[in-house]
Amino acid sequence: MIVSSNPANGATNRSYDGSSFEITLQDGLEIPSGSQNISVSVEEATVWWVVPNITDVNNKMYLSGGTAGNTTSAAELGYVVANTDFEMTTLAGETFSRIAITATSGTIPSGVFSAGYSIKIEDGIYAGKEYDILEIVTDTTGQLEMKIELTSDVLGTSAVNFSRIIPDGYTSDDYVITIPKGLYDLAGLNQAIARELEIAGARNNPDPLITLTPDESTQKVEIRFNYDNVTIDFQDNTATNNFREILGFDSLIYGPFSPAPHPELAPFPAAFNTINYFLIHSDLSNKGIRFNNNYSQTIAQVLINVSPGSQIVSTPFNPAKVSTPELQGTKRTNLRFWLTDDSNRPVDTNGEYWSARIVIRYLAQL
């Protein structure tokens, strides 16, 4: 018989994680009294290799580092360009140029520009050009005067549209990112971290805050701290539900490191493979296959021989025949099956269904 966890095929009482289910047999399963050599074997099984290694208990990462740069228009800053005069000059003998923005009517915002920012001209003959701000000289609601990098560009007093540019990494922030539940390898996790950091507003130009790379010879993970203000909190007592164990890192704060970029090798091998193989169990057997000195109603082992995200089709050449003398003279109408990992823990099938083709053999006198 073929059993499947798919409710569309008659499975009932399916667990929330998809690992266990029951079936009700319309005609029942009856083994005649006096039968001998009764055995159960799983001739074929299908299991999707999608069991998550990132779940709600280990899906967080706590970092600090630079923010992404941004461009803000004059209007968004609170300027009414039509009510301002914009002037760019260079005095003889000076090693810098000047920009002055003066209110001709009403006021202008103060405190929105700073040394280290840039100002970009948005229209006129210098449209698209950017100038680094060296110093703020005057910053009032009547006038903003700044020193900029030396330029030969000159603008007389006129109403000019402009934008403020805050460069990548100019400010820093704390980030707590959540990785979606899934089965990750190192490349997939590195991509997910970079994506979530970018969404959170972290610096990603020219590189993300951190990069994960493999050290093949030691089976360890190297975290590359790309900037000198980046820290990662892997402390279990403060950074709850983090995934440091998968990466092989201690419960510590790592960083900041200077100079950067800085490579930090994990002290322990990576542990992305949280499952070595699957076990199929059933109440068809009271004991099942012996596991060292224990029994847990195991009727089959399913080896993982495909890449993540693929379906395992297990067709063992010599499937185990589990002795089940307890079935003699019984009639069963309800059967239960469950799937665990090699430590007998129920697995999260991530919404996928699994199945098994089961053969029951016995000798009966005719």
Model confidence pLDDT, tens digit, residues 138-180: 999 999 999 999 999 999 888 999 999 999 999 999 999 999 9
pTM of the predicted protein model = 0.77
Give the model's pLDDT for residue 364: 87
| Residue 168 contacts residue 154 (beta carbons within 8 Å) | no
Helix, strand, coil abundance in the chain, percent, nearest 5: 10, 45, 50
Portions of the chain given CATH number 2.40.30: 70-166
CA-based max dimension of the chain: 117
Measured at the alpha carbon of residue 286, what is the angle toward residues 280 and 288, in degrees to the nearest 5? Answer: 45
Q: What DSSP string describes 304-365?
A: --S-TTSEEEE--SS---EE-GGGTT-EEEEEEEEEEETTSPBP--TT---EEEEEEEEE--
| Residue 214 contacts residue 27 (beta carbons within 8 Å) | no
Read off the pLDDT of each residue in 320-349 and give the average, rounded to a whole number. Answer: 95
Q: What is the pLDDT of residues 21-56, one digit of tens each?
A: 999 999 899 999 999 999 999 999 999 999 999 999
Q: Name the class of domain 70-166.
A: mainly beta
CATH architecture group of domain 2-51+275-363: Sandwich (2.60)
Portions of the chain given CATH number 2.60.120.1100: 2-51+275-363
In this prediction, residue 366 has a pLDDT band, given cuts at 50, 70 and 90, of: confident
* Residue 247 dihedral angles phi and psi, to the nearest 5°: -85, -15
102: three-class secondary structure by DSSP = strand
Closest CA to 39 of 329, 361, 298: 361
**First-to-last CA distance in the chain?**
23
